[in-house]
């Protein structure tokens, strides 16, 4: 059923109807002592009311994450397998939906008014508030304004640009984590029939390190737990993650675990309100008082001190086993299911406590307490996110977690396991569908056999390599299926230069973002349906599927009327582009696939293992789990065993006046989507250009609260500058700093990447801080000169 809205309720984003801009008057308020509660309810209701209206907003929220409804376009935290509440969403989920289902519209008139150069000086917040794009738009060579273009002409222009390339590898096809399984499968099929494996995606910038670490050690690149395991766990370690802002529904699972007697340990450079105390928004009695206290032990590690901390815990575990005559380690598990233990244990025992404490910044007594909690638990879960995955030694960070868990056999049993928490709703599913620059031979063999073509075998480009290829003139056409590429990627000025060198840049989008404004010689915006909207094709309304962090594949059905009759679904855009580009060179009946998405899923079932009877299984309430071999103690490594690994502790030799900076999200954002200028939990109001510092560091550097400063990053003799940041004193370890992204992506060098995974190192950026110059001067939000 389509939820119709009277035409008069749709609003055009009038050029002069501007939301408040960010100013230098950042307000610093007291920190929140708990997450959730009445403020979360007020925020969710306010977002829905302001963007969608009360009736439309209520209808949308009651369909969110419900069986028969649509999957949240936000994070990838799973829904309960059994009974779901009527409000199965969090504050941020409500904001994601409100942002997508807004009644504001960006029409061709908007683009005719605004020069691209003028839009380039608007903040990401302002751009996002303008509304949904209604028509395909093109920025022609030498033009200053986007203009409308018919869909057929748009596909012809893209196809022509692709087909005149000297080689298919001169094209780059990026994917966002919001893309559905159906769109992702068709996309990779088109790209490989075109002749390249250049399929970088947002995973290259977040959990790529997790995949590398887990494949090498346990033979599978995904987590090993289900939501039910959280109810059975005796201890849960949350490391390098802020659930209260980035995965708020996770707090419900942690609260339930806590009430079941679970002990929670939080490891992070910053204390976070969400891990301190939680007031469940649906528990009215819980609003009173301080809420449920979650964290039993907070280990405030220095930025990138996690390897040292984990070595300290493991050193104490080994010592405790020695003291008790072998009563701590799971020797049977180690002998039957692992390899490399002796070398690993020898390396840990040789690590000096003084070195461990110096590198992680945590007293030995607290490390020993963490070890005691781990030893006392028979069922332990380790959760992590990008606080671990965006360092040079990111793969080592995660493999040290695996090492610790193998010591006591905490993989492959109920209530225990590894939990990388994904940040986007289908980033894991996209990879399952073949969105990768490194496809396996088995996948390519199955794809080629089923579709009767020979897929390319040369390894493609990941995100960093794609930027470098464009910058070097080797990437000439850039196509993005979703996402805000320029704001999401590192080294903003370098990436902008790379995009400008392209012949054509194309973005499939729902709203205006910065990537539309820094373009190639020609550029195009192709507006698509949102997940909340009805996807009407030849055989009737369609649904799509996604895969969450715990490998549950489920259906998502939009129900709102599309923001514009001109919008196409992502699968339809891919199909029509494939037909226009490949012509008679493809035997795929793209039109038949789009007419009925069941046909896409039938094709997926024949190509990708574990998707047998896809259409039948995904129609079951709650969908279905993909199997996890490590849960069954099957480790698909060369040795058929889980692998202990040995790693050196990372060291950062900071010079006087330097800090190690990490980028973080505010509570008013999701990835690069900025919903507001506040960070309620950290006490920030009316601004995003802030730098969090230790008070002692401020005193030593001669900096004061509220002072405006410039940040300079230092990498291999290179310097990059981000201007006009407000100093905020905070509880953060000495010589560490934290800033919001994407504002400080400009400081992250494109060549500063994680070993093996090639993920940008956004959590270990060496910076210096000086009083600002030219305070009050108008500046470009990304330090990037716009096209004029």
* Predicted confidence (pLDDT) per residue in 35-71, tens digit: 777 777 777 778 878 888 888 877 777 776 777 877 7
CB 389 within 8 A of CB 397: yes
Residue with tokens 């339930």: 256
How many C-beta atoms lie closer than 10 Å to residue 446's C-beta? 17
Residue with tokens 């939080």: 266
CB 763 within 8 A of CB 663: yes
Closest CA to 200 of 368, 32, 429, 435: 435
How many angstroms separate the Cα of 116 from the Cα of each of 19, 144, 181, 494, 517? 19, 6, 33, 20, 6
Helix (H, G, I), strand (E, B) or coil at 172: strand
Residue with tokens 């990401």: 124
Q: β-pairing, 690-693 with 718-729? A: parallel
Closest CA to 711 of 701, 720, 702: 720
CB 764 within 8 A of CB 303: yes
Q: Which segments of the chain have a pLDDT < 70?
A: 1-24, 64, 82-88, 282-289, 774-788
The predicted structure's pLDDT at residue 45: 78
| Element housing 614 (H / E) | helix 614-618
**CA-based radius of gyration for the chain:** 25
Alpha-carbon torsion angle 552, 548, 276, 688, nearest 10: -170
Tell me the whole-structure pTM to 2 decimals: 0.94
Size (the chain), residues: 788
Query: In this structure, what token pair is assigned to residue 336?
Result: 């039957």
Angle at 675 between CA 673 and CA 678, to 5 degrees: 120
| Helix (H) and strand (E) counts in the chain | 30, 34
CB-count burial class (<10 Å; 0-12, 13-18, 19+) for 339: middle
The predicted structure's pLDDT at residue 259: 94
CB-count burial class (<10 Å; 0-12, 13-18, 19+) for 164: exposed
Closest CA to 462 of 200, 756, 203: 200
Residue with tokens 């550029």: 523
CB 517 within 8 A of CB 490: no
Exposure letters 684-715 (e unless 16+ CB within 10 A, then b): beebbbbbbbbeebbeebebeeebbbbbbbbb
The Cα 397–Cα 514 span in angstroms is 33
CA atoms within 13 A on the CB side of 88: 20
How many angstroms separate the Cα of 410 from the Cα of each of 234, 321, 401? 11, 16, 11
Query: In this structure, what token pair is assigned to residue 584?
Result: 């008679």
Q: What is the pLDDT of residues 69-83, one digit of tens each?
A: 777 777 778 877 766
Alpha-carbon torsion angle 330, 331, 336, 340, nearest 10: 100
CB 177 within 8 A of CB 426: yes
Partnered with residue 171 across adjacent β-strands are 477
Angle at 448 between CA 201 and CA 220, to 5 degrees: 50
Closest CA to 736 of 129, 186, 301, 241: 301
Question: What are the DSSP E strand ranges found in 463-601?
Answer: 477-481, 504-509, 522-527, 535-537, 540-542, 544-547, 552-556
The Cα 186–Cα 170 span in angstroms is 20
The predicted structure's pLDDT at residue 68: 80
Under the phi-then-psi rule, with left for phi > 0, alpha for psi from -120 to 50, and beta for the rest, what region is 671? left
CB-count burial class (<10 Å; 0-12, 13-18, 19+) for 605: middle
Closest CA to 67 of 782, 631, 679, 622: 622
CB-count burial class (<10 Å; 0-12, 13-18, 19+) for 6: exposed
How would DSSP label each residue in 470-504?
HHTT---EEEEESS-HHHHSSSHHHHHHHHHTSSE
The predicted structure's pLDDT at residue 779: 44
The Cα 309–Cα 311 span in angstroms is 5
CB 786 within 8 A of CB 121: yes
How would DSSP label each residue in 109-144?
HHHHHS-HHHHTTS-HHHHHTT-EE-S-EEE-TT-S
The Cα 446–Cα 453 span in angstroms is 10
N-terminal to C-terminal alpha carbon distance within the chain: 46
How many angstroms separate the Cα of 515 from the Cα of each of 361, 418, 498? 39, 35, 12
How many angstroms separate the Cα of 633 from the Cα of each of 237, 630, 646? 22, 5, 22
The Cα 668–Cα 678 span in angstroms is 6
CB 390 within 8 A of CB 762: yes
**Phi, psi of 497, rounded to the nearest 5 degrees:** -60, -40
CB 515 within 8 A of CB 58: no
Closest CA to 293 of 264, 326, 321, 323: 264
Query: In this structure, what token pair is assigned to residue 12?
Result: 């055009």
Query: In this structure, what token pair is assigned to residue 226?
Result: 């289900």
Angle at 631 between CA 628 and CA 636, to 5 degrees: 65
The Cα 274–Cα 385 span in angstroms is 15
Cα 100 to chain centroid distance, Å, stands at: 17
């Amino acid at each position: 059923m389509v939820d119709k809205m009277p035409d008069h309720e749709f609003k055009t984003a009038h050029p002069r109807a501007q939301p408040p801009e960010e100013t230098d008057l950042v307000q610093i308020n007291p920190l929140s002592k708990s997450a959730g509660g009445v403020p979360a309810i007020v925020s969710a209701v306010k977002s829905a009311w302001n963007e969608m209206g009360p009736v439309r907003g209520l209808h949308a929220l009651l369909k969110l994450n419900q069986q028969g409804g649509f999957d949240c376009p936000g994070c990838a935290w799973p829904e309960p397998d059994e009974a779901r509440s009527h409000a199965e969403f969090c504050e941020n989920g409500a904001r994601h939906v409100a942002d997508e289902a807004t009644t504001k519209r960006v029409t061709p008139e908007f683009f005719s008014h605004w020069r691209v150069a003028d839009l380039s000086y608007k903040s990401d917040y302002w751009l996002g508030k303008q509304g949904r794009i209604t028509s395909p738009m093109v920025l022609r060579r030498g033009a200053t304004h986007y203009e409308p273009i018919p869909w057929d002409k748009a596909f012809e222009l893209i196809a022509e640009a692709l087909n005149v390339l000297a080689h298919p590898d001169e094209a780059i096809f990026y994917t966002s984590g919001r893309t559905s399984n159906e769109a992702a499968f068709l996309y990779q099929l088109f790209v490989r029939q075109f002749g390249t494996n250049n399929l970088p995606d947002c995973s290259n910038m977040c959990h790529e390190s997790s995949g590398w670490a887990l494949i090498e050690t346990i033979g599978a690149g995904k987590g090993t737990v289900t939501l039910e395991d959280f109810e059975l766990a005796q201890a849960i370690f949350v490391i390098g993650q802020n659930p209260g802002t980035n995965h708020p529904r996770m707090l419900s699972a942690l609260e339930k675990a806590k009430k079941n007697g679970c002990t929670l340990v939080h490891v992070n450079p910053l204390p976070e309100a969400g891990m301190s105390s939680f007031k469940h928004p649906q528990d009215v009695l819980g609003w009173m008082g301080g809420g449920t206290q979650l964290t039993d032990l907070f280990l405030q590690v220095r930025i990138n001190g996690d390897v040292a901390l984990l070595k300290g815990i493991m050193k104490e575990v080994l010592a405790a086993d020695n003291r008790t005559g072998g009563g701590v380690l799971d020797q049977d598990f180690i002998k039957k299911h692992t390899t490399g233990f002796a070398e690993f244990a020898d390396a840990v025992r040789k690590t000096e406590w003084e070195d461990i404490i110096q590198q992680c910044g945590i007293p030995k007594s607290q490390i020993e307490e963490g070890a005691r909690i781990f030893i006392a638990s028979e069922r332990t879960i380790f959760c992590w996110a990008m606080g671990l995955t965006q360092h040079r030694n990111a793969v080592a960070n995660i493999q040290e977690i695996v090492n610790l868990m193998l010591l006591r056999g905490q993989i492959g049993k109920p209530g225990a396991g590894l939990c990388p928490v994904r940040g986007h709703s289908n980033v894991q599913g996209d990879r399952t569908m073949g969105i990768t620059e490194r496809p396996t031979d088995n996948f390519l063999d199955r794809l080629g056999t089923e579709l009767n073509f020979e897929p390319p075998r040369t390894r493609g480009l990941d995100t960093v390599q794609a930027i470098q290829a464009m910058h070097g003139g080797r990437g000439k056409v850039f196509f993005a299926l979703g996402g805000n590429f320029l704001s999401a990627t590192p080294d903003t000025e370098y990436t902008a230069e790379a995009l400008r060198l392209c012949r054509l840049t194309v973005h499939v989008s729902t709203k205006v973002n910065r990537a539309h404004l820094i373009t190639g010689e020609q550029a195009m915006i192709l507006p698509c349906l949102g997940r909340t909207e009805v996807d009407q094709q030849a055989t009737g309304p369609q649904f799509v599927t996604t895969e969450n962090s715990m490998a549950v594949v489920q259906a998502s059905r939009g129900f709102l009327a599309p923001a514009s009759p001109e919008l196409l679904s992502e699968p339809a855009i891919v199909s029509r582009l494939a037909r226009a580009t490949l012509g008679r060179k493809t035997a795929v009946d793209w039109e038949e696939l789009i007419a009925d998405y069941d046909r896409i899923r039938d094709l997926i079932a024949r190509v990708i293992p574990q998707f047998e009877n896809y259409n039948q299984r995904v129609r079951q309430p709650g969908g279905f789990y993909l199997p996890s071999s490590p849960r069954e103690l099957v480790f698909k490594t060369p040795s058929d065993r889980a692998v202990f690994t040995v790693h050196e502790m990372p060291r950062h030799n900071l010079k006087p006046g330097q800090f190690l900076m990490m980028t973080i999200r505010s509570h008013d954002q999701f990835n690069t989507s900025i919903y507001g200028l506040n960070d309620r939990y950290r006490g920030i109001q009316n601004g995003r250009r802030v730098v969090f510092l230790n008070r002692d560091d401020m005193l030593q550097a001669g900096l004061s609260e509220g002072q405006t400063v410039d940040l300079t990053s230092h990498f291999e003799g290179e310097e990059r500058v981000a201007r006009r940041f407000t100093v905020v004193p905070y509880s953060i370890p000495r010589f560490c700093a934290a800033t919001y992204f994407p504002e400080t992506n400009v400081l992250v060098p494109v060549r500063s990447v994680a070993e093996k995974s090639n993920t940008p190192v956004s959590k270990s950026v060496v910076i210096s801080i000086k009083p600002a110059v030219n305070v009050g001067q108008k500046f470009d939000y990304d330090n990037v000169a716009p096209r004029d």
